[in-house]
Amino acid sequence: MGNLEILLQAPIFSVQLLIDGLLVGSIFALAAYGMALLWGVMNIINISQGDFVILGGYVTLTLYNAGIHPLFGVPVAAVVLFIVGWVIYRAVIYRVVDRDLFISILATFGISILLQQLMDQIFGADIQSVESGLGQFFLFDNQVTVSQIKLVAFAVVIVVGVVLVLFFKKSRMGQAIRATAQNARAARLMGINTDRVYAMTFAMNAALCGAAGALVVMTWVIQPFIGLAYTIRSFMIVVVAGLGNIAAVVAAALGLGAAEQFAAFLLGAEFQIGFVFGLLVVILLVRNMFLKRQRQVLK
Amino acid sequence: MNRRGKTALYVAAAIAALLIPQIPLLQPYLIQFAFLWVMILFAMTWDVMGGQMGYNSFGNIVFFGVGMYATAVVQRDLYFTVEEYASVAGGEQAALTPVEYLIGLALGMGSGAVLAVVIAALLGSGILGLRGHYFAICTLGLGIAAGELASGWDYIGAGSGLVTPLLPDALGERGPFFFYLFLVLAMITFAALKRLYAGQFGLAINAIRDDEDKADALGLHATRYKTVAWCVSGFFLALTGGAFGNLVIFIDPTDVAFAGPTFGVWMVLMAILGGKGTLWGPVIGATVFHVTQEFFWIYLFGWQRVALGLLIVVVVVFFPLGIVGWLRERWPQRFGEVVDEDARRVQVSLEGER
C-alpha cells in the first residue's frame, strides 16, 4: 500500500491512471457489448469470448509481421473472426442454443480451451505486442502522457458503437435480431429465419471481439492464456450494466478500466488479474444480496 | 440382483482393488494407479455438486488447493521452524521419522479438510444463492482468484511454491504407500456418497436439481442443503489435495494446487463422460479418461491439450448423458426404473412437435 502515499502526494498520477483506465476500458466495452448481444438474443454465455479477443490480436500480429500497419488489423481481424464465429456457430453452437444452459456453458468452455491451445501451438506462449508507430501527447507540463494509439482505439470504439446502434435501428437484419431477442417463437411465426439470425449474432459477436483484440495487441499485450480475463471482464460489465443498453455497457466498461488501473497501481501489477476475478465474486455476491431482499425464501 | 449379491459384489471389487499391488506385472504402475484413484476422487466429488445437485461448479479446485496447502503448512510447521525448513529445502531434504511423518500427514489432512469445510460453509451461504450462469462464472472466477492469491502469499511460498516432506524409507516405497492411501480414501468417499445419495439428503439435492423453486416452495431448506453438499464435496476434495501434495512433493500454486486448466477441467469432463448424476458414472468416466490419456496422449506430441478442448465440446454436445446415463436410457429396467409406455409415447409425440 506504499503507493497510496505517492498518489496522495502527487495527485497528478491519479489523472494519468484515470485516463489510461478509461481508454483501456473502452476496449473492454466492445467485447462486453458482444457478450450482452449474445446473452440477450440467444441466452448463451460465451466463455470463449476472451479467446476470440486474443485471436483477433494474433490476426493483427500476423499482419504486422507481414509488414502491414496494425491499424488495418482492426477491420481484417473483425472479418476473420466473423468467419470463425460463423463456422463455430454452424459446427457447435446451433446444437446447443435451445438446450439446457449448462450445456452451452460447458460447450463454449470447451471451445475456449480448444482455441487457447491452438493459439499456443501456432503462435507460441510468449507475451507479444505490436508497435503502432504513433507517438504520445504530453499534458500538464509533461506529467501526464497519453499514447495516441489509445486515443485512436477510443475513437474506433465510438465509431463501432454508433454503427452498431444504427445497424440495430435501421437495417432489416438488425430489426430481425431485436425481434428474435424479444420472442424467438413469435419472430419465427412472422417469417424470420431465426437460425440465420442466431448465426449472424454469433458471428457479429466474434467480429466485435476480433476488433477489440486488434486494439488490445496495439495498446497492450497478448498471450494465448489470458483470454479468460476478458471473458470475466465482459461478464462483469454486462452484469452491472444489464442487457441491451449500449450506453450503460460503455459506462460500466470505462469504470472497470479505471478501477483496474488504480488497483494495479496500488496493489502491484501482479495482482491485477487476481483483482479482476476477486471483483467478479464480490459483484455477484453483492448483487445477490440485493436480490435476496426482494425474494421471500426459506433461510 | 438382490441386496446381498450386490454387497458381495462390492466387497469382491474392493478386495480385488486392494490386491493389485500383489500382482508383479502391475507393480511398476502403482503410482499410475494412485493417480487414477485421484482422478476418480475428482470426478466423484465434482458430481456431488454438478451431477446430483445440478450446480455446475468450475471452482471446486479451490478446496483441492486449500487442503494441499494446509497439509503442507502443518507438516512444515509441526516439526520445523520456517528458517530451518528453508535452509534444508535447498539441498538436503528435511528428514522425518515415520511416526512424525504420519502424524504430520494425518493432522495436516484433517486440518485441511476442516478448513475446506469452513470455507465452503462461509462462501456457500453467499455463492450458492446464485443460479445458473451466475454460479458457473462466479466459481470459475473463484478458482482463478485463489490461484492468484496463493502465488502472491509469501507465507505459503508465493509463486516459487512449497516443498512437502519426503516419505521416510521405513514406510516403504512411494508406490504402494500412496496406492493404498488414495485407494482407501476413494473407497471411503464412494461409500459415504453412496450412503448419502440413498437417503434423505440425496432426495433433497436431486429435488434442487430438478426444480429448485418448487423444492423451496414445498418447504425444503434449499440453501442449507446446498451448503452441506458443497461442504461434503470440499471435505473429500481437501483430503485428496492434502495427500496429493505429498505424492508430487512439490506444490506449485497454479500448476498443481489451483490447477484450473488441468485438474479443474478434467473433473468436469470425467464426470460428464461417465454420466453425471449417477453413482458409478464418475468412477467409470475417470477410469476411461485416465486410461485414454495415458495410452494415447503421448502420441499426440503436445497437441493433447487441443484434443482435450475438442473432447469437451464433443462429449458435451453429442454425448451429454455420459456412458452410464446412456446405458440407463437404453436399458432402464436394468437400473430398476419402470417405463410407462403410454406416458413415454405421449412424451415422444410432444418432443416431436417441438
Q: What is the pLDDT of residues A48-94, one digit of tens each?
A: 999 999 999 999 999 988 888 888 889 999 999 999 999 999 998 88
- Measured between alpha carbons, how far is B189 from B302 in angstroms, rounded to an integer? 34
B187-201: pLDDT as tens digits: 999 999 999 998 899
B124 near B226, Cβ under 8 Å?
Answer: yes
Question: How many CA atoms does the CB half-sphere of B7 hold within 13 Å?
Answer: 3
- Measured between alpha carbons, how far is B304 from B309 in angstroms, rounded to an integer? 9
Q: What domain count does chain A have?
A: 1
**Structural domain of residue A67, as residue ranges?**
2-294
pLDDT at B259: 81
The C-alpha cell at B248 is: 508430487
Q: Which residues of A83-98 are buried (b: 16+ CB within 10 A; e: fewer)?
A: ebbbebbeebbebbbe
Report whether pLDDT(A285) > 90.
no
The C-alpha cell at A160 is: 463501432
B302 near B290, Cβ under 8 Å?
Answer: no
* Cα dihedral B42, B249, B118, B260 sign: negative
CA geometry: angle at B92 spanning B87 and B98, to 5°? 105
Do the chains contact at A298 and B219, CB–CB below 8 Å? yes
Q: Which residues of A touch B222 (CB under 8 A)?
A: 297-298
| Bridge partners, residue B163, by sequence | B250
Q: Which residues of A touch B302 (CB under 8 A)?
A: 121
Q: Global pTM?
A: 0.84
Beta-carbon contacts of A122 under 8 Å, excluding residues fewer than 6 positions away, are A58
CATH architecture, domain B28-320: Orthogonal Bundle (1.10)
Query: At residue B315, what is the residue type?
Result: V
pLDDT band at A220 (very low <50, low <70, confident <90, very high): confident
Q: Assign residue B351 a region: left if phi > 0, alpha if psi is -120 to 50, beta otherwise?
A: alpha
Q: Which of A138-152, B104-118, B130-144 has the highest mean pLDDT?
A: B104-118
Do the chains contact at A285 and B144, CB–CB below 8 Å? no
Which of B144, B149, B309 lies at the smallest CB-CB distance from A117? B309
Which of B54, B148, B223 lies at the smallest CB-CB distance from A273? B148
Q: Which residues of B touch A (CB under 8 A)?
A: 54, 56, 58, 126-127, 129-130, 132-134, 136-138, 140-142, 144-145, 148-149, 151-152, 216, 219-223, 261, 265, 268, 272, 302-303, 305-306, 308-313, 316-317, 320
Which of A106, A120, A228 lies at the smallest CB-CB distance from B316? A106
The C-alpha cell at B78 is: 509441526
Residue A226 lies in a domain: yes
pLDDT at B90: 47
B320-340: pLDDT as tens digits: 888 888 888 888 777 776 667
Beta-carbon contacts of B98 under 8 Å, excluding residues fewer than 6 positions away, are B168, B170, B171
Looking at residue A122, which CATH number applies to its domain?
A: 1.10.3470
What ipTM score was computed for the predicted complex, to two decimals? 0.81
Do the chains contact at A113 and B303, CB–CB below 8 Å? no
Candidate from A85-94, B21-30, B286-295 with smallest mean pLDDT:
B21-30
- Measured between alpha carbons, how far is B344 from B342 in angstroms, rounded to an integer? 5
Residue A299 lies in a domain: no
The per-residue DSSP string of B293-316 comes to HHHHGGGGTTTHHHHHHHHHHHHH
A205 to chain B, minimum CA–CA distance in Å?
A: 18
CA–CA distance from B39 to each of A137, A255, B186, B266, B273 (Å)?
55, 42, 10, 8, 13
Beta-carbon contacts of A31 under 8 Å, excluding residues fewer than 6 positions away, are A49, A50, A52, A53, A208, A209, A212, A230, A233, A234
* Cα dihedral A46, A49, A55, A60 sign: positive
pLDDT at A58: 93
B36-77: pLDDT as tens digits: 999 999 999 999 988 888 888 888 899 999 999 998 888 888
Helices (H), ranges, A220-271: 227-241, 246-267
Chain A and chain B share a number of CB contacts under 8 A equal to 128
Q: Which residues of B188-200 are buried (b: 16+ CB within 10 A; e: fewer)?
A: ebbeebeebbeee
Domain boundaries along the sequence of chain B: 28-320, 327-354
pLDDT at B91: 44
Do the chains contact at A285 and B126, CB–CB below 8 Å? yes
The mean pLDDT value for B102-122 works out to 90
E strands of chain B, at which residues? 162-163, 250-251
